[in-house]
């Protein structure tokens, strides 16, 4: 495989870069084909798009997605790659891992027609979840983020956006994806009676404190986690990871999703890029890494 692009999953990869993976999660948080061990040094990442240089008939020469760390050349089993559907550009396909996470989250959340849905945290996964929910008939979806720069991406996807959480909105479903304790506390205030709060954020080794002594019990709220490592139980008899990844790639055929790519840099600059992104709090969605293409051999 020769990589063309890879994508940085800023939330998770920043925690890994800063060495904030809890010891208890060292095994669970290993990426496919990861080299090294937490806290580091590790070769991490899981959003690589490339060209198959050598492989079985029908696969050689094709452009595929692979859950592989940032690397220019690598060898993996044929079963580890998924060909891109016709019409999907390689540069947008780096969103596949995020789209897979969002798809799994919507399965876990179980939104219904007509639901009022609030998504707190308008990063890549949050916006993808909001976009998927917005396509269900009659839903009212609101994306919330304290970073006003994310309004443009939300608008590109046809989503309503605000920086001020609608406290007391009586929402049927709240999806939390901000990665902050404050965001999760806000989710409790937005949810309606007997509503579900789906927690998508991963906090690494940080502890989170919640005011569960307030209205959490009286409103009979459900706080539910979602994690892409497992397919929901009600689908596992029919869905496997390959089918889910194929579905995620099909979702990316919508060109509006290019709005989720907020920047691009060269593979050779990756250490400096990760240093910057791990400290930069605003303005970043999916940052794409591009790989050099070798010059063709001269003819003699």
Per-residue pLDDT of 117-149, as tens digits, reads 999 999 999 999 999 999 999 999 999 999 999
pLDDT for residue 294: 66
Number of Cβ within a 10 Å radius of residue 22: 15
Where does a domain end: 225, 242, 268?
225
Domain that includes residue 147, residue range: 109-225
Query: CATH number of the domain that 214 lies in?
Result: 3.40.50.720
Residues 77 and 171 in one domain: no
Residues 210 and 121 in one domain: yes
Counted domains in the chain: 2
Per-residue pLDDT of 222-263, as tens digits, reads 999 999 999 999 999 999 999 999 999 999 999 999 999 999
Whether 59 maps to a domain, the answer reads yes
Residues 205 and 284 in one domain: no
pLDDT for residue 300: 40
Torsion angle defined by CA atoms of residues 201, 231, 172 and 128, in that order, rounded to the nearest 10 degrees: 60
Per-residue pLDDT of 160-209, as tens digits, reads 999 999 999 999 999 999 999 999 999 999 999 999 999 999 888 889 99
Q: What span, in angstroms and rounded, lies between the C-alpha atoms of 292 and 2? A: 10
Q: Is omega for the bond preceding 11 within 30 degrees of 0, making it cis?
A: no
What is the pLDDT averaged over residues 103-119? Answer: 98
Residues 216 and 265 in one domain: no
Query: CATH number of the domain that 282 lies in?
Result: 3.90.180.10
Whether 236 maps to a domain, the answer reads no
What is this structure's pTM?
0.93
Band (pLDDT 50/70/90 cuts) for residue 295 is low
Residues 273 and 203 in one domain: no
- Rg for the chain, CA atoms, rounded: 20
């Amino acid at each position: 495989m020769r990589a063309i692009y890879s994508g940085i999953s800023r939330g998770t990869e920043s925690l890994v870069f800063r060495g904030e993976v809890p010891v208890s999660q060292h095994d669970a948080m290993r990426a496919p084909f990861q080299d090294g061990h937490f806290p580091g040094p590790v070769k991490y990442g899981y959003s690589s798009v490339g060209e198959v240089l050598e492989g079985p008939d029908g696969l050689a020469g094709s452009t595929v997605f692979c859950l592989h760390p940032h690397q220019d050349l690598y060898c993996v089993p044929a079963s580890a790659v998924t060909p891109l559907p016709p019409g999907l550009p390689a540069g947008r396909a780096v969103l596949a891992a995020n789209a897979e996470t969002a798809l799994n989250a919507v399965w876990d959340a179980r939104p219904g027609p007509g639901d009022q849905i609030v998504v707190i945290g308008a990063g890549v996964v949050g916006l993808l979840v909001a976009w998927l929910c917005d396509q269900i008939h009659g839903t009212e979806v609101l994306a919330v983020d304290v970073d006003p720069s994310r309004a443009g991406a939300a608008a590109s996807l046809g989503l309503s956006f605000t920086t001020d959480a609608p406290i007391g909105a009586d929402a049927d479903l709240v999806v939390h994806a901000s990665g902050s304790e404050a965001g999760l506390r806000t989710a409790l205030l937005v949810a309606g009676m007997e509503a579900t709060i789906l927690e998508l954020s991963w906090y690494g080794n940080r502890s989170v404190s919640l005011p569960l002594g307030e209205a959490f019990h009286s409103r009979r709220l459900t706080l539910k986690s979602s994690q892409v490592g497992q397919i929901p139980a009600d689908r596992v008899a029919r869905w496997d990871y390959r089918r889910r990844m194929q579905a995620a790639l099909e979702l990316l055929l919508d060109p509006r999703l290019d709005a989720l790519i907020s920047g691009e840099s060269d593979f050779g600059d990756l250490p400096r890029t990760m240093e910057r992104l791990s400290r930069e709090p605003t303005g970043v969605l999916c940052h794409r890494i591009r790989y050099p293409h070798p010059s063709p051999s001269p003819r003699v």
